[in-house]
Structure 1
Amino acid sequence: MSERRQTDDADNGRDLVSYRCSCGAEVLISHPSEGRCANCGQQMAFRDLNATQTLSFGDDIDRDTSFSVANSPDRSGEELGHFRLLSKIGHGGMGAVYRAMDQSLERLVAVKVMRAAGQGADGSLEQVQKLLHEAVVQARLNHPNVVTIYYVGRNDEEPFFAMELLAGPTLGYLIRENQLPFNAVISYAQQVVAALKQASLLGLVHGDIKPGNLILADKETVKLCDFGSAKTEQCAPAQVISGTLCYMAPELATGTEPSIHSDMYSLGVTLFELTFGRRPFTVTGTTLQEQIRSQRIAKIEFTTKWPAKVPERWKELLTRLLAPAPEDRFPNYETFEAALQELSPMGFTNAGLLSRSMAFAVDLVCAGLLMAPFILPGQFEGIISAQMAAVGQAGKELSESLLRIFGRMGVIGILAPIVPAIATWIDWKGWRTPGRYMFQLRVVDPHGLKLGRRKRVLRGLMRNTPIWVTAFIAAAIGLQMDIFALMLSPLDEIVLLIDTIPVLGLKRQALHDRLFGSHVVLDTK
């Protein structure tokens, strides 16, 4: 764009802005009215920037202008090669999308007709070649979460792509109708990150991630489309920027080349919108310059009362994605994926009382087998002492020998607490116990996520109280503290009874689950 200037036109004397259309031609637009490109027919209007419209603008981004691109003429009925355009299903700043018939294979496809470079415009041939090259790169991006491109061609100097036709709708349309549940948001996020990760391996940056470019293939699968704004990282031109302002990383406005970090920022805005039904910033201003400046200084506007169904750790992830500085975002998609995995619900189907009880019984049996070497020597010592009075002299000598042996071995009982300590370490690591592994159970928080470490450990200590009490009894016997062991002996039954009685309630939850907000669910991952 170039700055506003006064016209000498005696007819109206209105301000005109010289705007370079994406086809390369110059268009004079009267303020605050509109104008049409004589070369490609695109209509441009001075009004507040449409937040869902993809823009292409150059070095003069700080000029005193604001615009949006209006709908292009409907070309339904035309034929591009062996594709017959049936009906227009969408449009954007880079072109229009049509429902079309592939007459060679007799199947329905989506055809995106890109706006052609202007005749005689600087770099026109280069622009066409670049668009075709990016389409070829996307076609090589064979990924289940990327819209498949079937054909790349051009009609004269007008590039077009034929790609798979999806039922939809887009996530942008979906969130206008209903708020998405968190488990759907995190699932879509994981799918998009997987697609972007694969794209990054080919050196491809999307450049225009937004809800409108995420299309549902079915209820659970989302596909990333519209790589028309994409750049290869090796040759991304700093002088031309494409994207949607409200989703665009702030560094792009200063001429920084698109990168995986700018895509992360755009995805952060998208995920915020999918979660809360609105964008994280309020962008103000009537000119493009004012809107960009407003976005760069805007603070993230999280909801005052955090939704109960959204984990608070989600706020940390969104804040990191929306960091103004690229280096403060995730360093790569691997770490991004790991963070999403931590927030991915493990399951919501509560396990039945029988399976939970059987899992706990298996854990008790395993703990008993591990503690047997520490407990039995002390028990044998008592048995031998009781039998010594009933045997003869020879038997007494043998019994005394055995008593000394088991008496010395009884000291090993002081090591019995190692077994419940191992169980606590398993809880600290977040691993599954043998019983939960056998019955495919997991312990989660109310959001279906892995329970926090502190709560996991405290819950495990309370759940494993019978094991701890048994271990301390064995240790007391090993230290010849029989009275203390006798005092401890009823404690495990009492605690187990108190912990188990709440299971009879409507929630069918033990006391340790009620206290720490945990749920035992079926492992559906």
Structure 2
Amino acid sequence: MTDSTTRNSQDDGERTYRCVCGESLLIDAHTSVTCDGCGRKFSANILNEAVADTVSIRAIESPDFAPTVLNDETADLDETAPQRGDMIGHFRVVNILGRGGMGAVYRALDESLQRYVALKVIRRPGDVGDDTVHVQRLLQEARAQARVNHPNVVHIYYVSRDEQSPFLAMELVGGTPLSTRMREGHLKFEQVIRIAIQVASALQQSAKFDIVHGDIKPSNILCADDKNVKLSDFGLARRLSECGMDDSPVMGTPNYLSPEVAAGKPLSIQSDMYSLGVTLFEMTFGRLPYSSSGQLHVLERLRAHREDPVEFPETWPTNLPTGWRDVLERLLEKDPANRFASYDELLEALEQLRPVALPHAGRVVRGLAWLVDLMMLSAALQIVFVPLQIPTVQKFPIVRLILGLASPSVPFLAGLIYAKLGTSAGKKLFQIRVADRHGLRLKQSTLFARSVAQLSPIWIIATQRFFEAIGLADIGSLLLIGVAMAMFVDIGLALLHRRSRSLHDVVFRTRVVLDV
């Protein structure tokens, strides 16, 4: 669970570190400290290395500290709710972190291990007879979540079996829910794809333990830091092998519920994929896939998932890879069978879209690679016309016509091979490649179209031979002049641009990078 209060201190950076012996040590950013209780020495950067979240802001320890409310629902806590300083088992309550439909989450101190944890206390229902169901729900969440040992899943430390005060203690994540992060501002695609990979990896591990989460949404994804997230709240998790074998109702959050679950069908890993797709869509565009679903009645929201088409932007944003739309469309398919068959397949698709920061190739390297390609194709074009050097063949004009008509096939075939392989001989030799703005490999169609501009000198020669063969040499000469002028502009821009981007790089939104 989250602990945003430990990241928002206004107290000039003064913090305390809870030693394993129980002493609270005042630490600043520059001075090491020795514990008076046990004599242990701690470096000044211990706060940055405290992976167990045993760190607290000094303000939290002050008597007049006011708890930070992360959820508006905490405003109507009842008088029986745990208060600051109360003991729940061997955990001492520090402050409330949030409140949901099944209970509240508190920041608490584990008096046994002297570390802070997130304490989830299950809300007691009005009907005492329902207590057993709630305790079973708690145990279900704890067992499901504890089975999944993964860096992107919140760890469970302890679970109480006391039916009078059921609770569980879990890892205290030093950040905020993804839902809060999304409200704070736009997420870059690099962040979206990184979170997507981490959550999919966590769900993949869950599936290996026969668990389907059942409630994937931004508020159940916790931002541990700027680069890592953790999946939490397995309260609606089900055994994958048992889905559809009992009559218990399947619950979830309407805005993120898959069409099949909304129709009363069993959960599956594809159900979690759909919910993840809705979450990723919202992270990408700042809204749900169905623009009006947030204002609709619950039943209408469920109907939207089952029937309404996904509302993608009319013009695809240039800051997003085109392949991202394909991934979202597949995740949001109405029919589970049309989604990814496994998390392995999903992760493979996501990894292919992970932006890669590669250094730009310099002018000299690009120029040499280009010259190698031109010389090889020029030699191939000359080989095509070798038969015309044979005196016997020169007696047959039809041969000259056929060879002239066939000459454009040389750069055409070279472009097809380049598009298929994703590289050329020159680029392979100098270890460079063409990428989009995210460092990703281009589609074959884009590579082929780009090769026409890149191999323009060969196209000029081949086209001239073509028009000469059909008796239109004058038209060929005019085209030759036009293409030559465009080629010089292309080369000139590459020489002048600070990142050596040519005209065809600008047109196709590509860049040449070192293939390292």
TM-score by length of 1: 0.66
Pick from 322, 325, 341: which aligns with 1:331? 341
Is residue 336 of structure 2 the alignment partner of residue 345 of structure 1? no
After superposition, the C-alpha distances for 1:428-474 in whole angstroms (9 at most, x for unaligned) are 2253445545655431234544222112012224324557789999x
Match of 2:394 in 1: none
Q: 1:468 to 1:308 in 2, by over 3 A?
A: closer
Contact 1:249–1:262 under 8 Å retained in 2: yes
Pick from 142, 145, 149: which aligns with 1:138? 145
Q: 1:419 to 1:302 in 2, by over 3 A?
A: closer
Is residue 472 of structure 2 the alignment partner of residue 462 of structure 1? no
By how many angstroms is 1:154 displaced?
Answer: 0.6
For residues 135 and 267 of structure 2, what CA distance do their matches in structure 1 show?
20
Pick from 499, 504, 510: which aligns with 2:502? 510
Match of 1:278 in 2: 287
By how many angstroms is 1:363 displaced?
Answer: 5.3
After superposition, the C-alpha distances for 1:205-254 in whole angstroms (9 at most, x for unaligned) are 11111111222222122221211221121234542323211111232233
Moved more, 202-211 or 133-142: 133-142
For residues 305 and 71 of structure 1, what CA distance do their matches in structure 2 show?
46
For residues 140 and 425 of structure 1, what CA distance do their matches in structure 2 show?
50
Q: 1:213 to 1:77 in 2, by over 3 A?
A: same
Q: Map 1:46-445; keep pairs closer than 5 Å.
A: 73-115=81-123, 121=129, 124=132, 128-129=135-136, 131-149=138-156, 151-154=157-160, 156-157=162-163, 158-236=165-243, 237-281=246-290, 282-283=292-293, 288-289=298-299, 291-293=301-303, 296-347=306-357, 350-360=360-370, 424-433=415-424, 435-437=426-428, 441-445=432-436
Contact 1:116–1:128 under 8 Å retained in 2: no
Is residue 509 of structure 2 the alignment partner of residue 501 of structure 1? no
After superposition, the C-alpha distances for 1:141-197 in whole angstroms (9 at most, x for unaligned) are 222222222x13115124433322222222211121211112221221122112212
Secondary structure in 1 matching 2:318: coil
CA RMSD of aligned residues (A): 4.7
Q: 1:138 to 1:422 in 2, by over 3 A?
A: farther
For residues 160 and 81 of structure 1, what CA distance do their matches in structure 2 show?
9
By how many angstroms is 1:109 displaced?
Answer: 2.3
After superposition, the C-alpha distances for 1:324-356 in whole angstroms (9 at most, x for unaligned) are 332333232233223323433344754332443
TM-score by length of 2: 0.67
Q: 1:102 to 1:344 in 2, by over 3 A?
A: same
The residue type paired with residue 158 of structure 2 is V
For residues 132 and 187 of structure 2, what CA distance do their matches in structure 1 show?
43
By how many angstroms is 1:129 displaced?
Answer: 4.1
The residue type paired with residue 252 of structure 2 is G
The residue type paired with residue 107 of structure 1 is R
Identity %: 41
Moved more, 434-443 or 75-84: 434-443
Larger Rg: 1
For residues 53 and 196 of structure 1, what CA distance do their matches in structure 2 show?
29
For residues 110 and 503 of structure 1, what CA distance do their matches in structure 2 show?
56
Contact 1:238–1:257 under 8 Å retained in 2: no
Contact 1:347–1:521 under 8 Å retained in 2: no
Contact 2:422–2:447 under 8 Å retained in 1: no
Question: Which consecutive unaligned segments of at least 5 residues does structure 1 have?
Answer: 1-51, 55-67, 383-412, 474-486
For residues 425 and 84 of structure 2, what CA distance do their matches in structure 1 show?
63
For residues 83 and 146 of structure 2, what CA distance do their matches in structure 1 show?
25
The residue type paired with residue 171 of structure 2 is E
Contact 1:416–1:471 under 8 Å retained in 2: yes
Moved more, 110-119 or 455-464: 110-119
The residue type paired with residue 493 of structure 2 is P
Q: 1:156 to 1:302 in 2, by over 3 A?
A: same
Question: Which consecutive unaligned segments of at least 5 residues does structure 2 have?
Answer: 1-70, 391-402, 465-476
After superposition, the C-alpha distances for 1:83-137 in whole angstroms (9 at most, x for unaligned) are 3221111121232222222223222222222345788636826x53454244233
For residues 321 and 115 of structure 2, what CA distance do their matches in structure 1 show?
44
After superposition, the C-alpha distances for 1:382-433 in whole angstroms (9 at most, x for unaligned) are 9xxxxxxxxxxxxxxxxxxxxxxxxxxxxxx999999977853542225344
For residues 412 and 271 of structure 2, what CA distance do their matches in structure 1 show?
46
The residue type paired with residue 156 of structure 1 is D
For residues 430 and 108 of structure 2, what CA distance do their matches in structure 1 show?
51
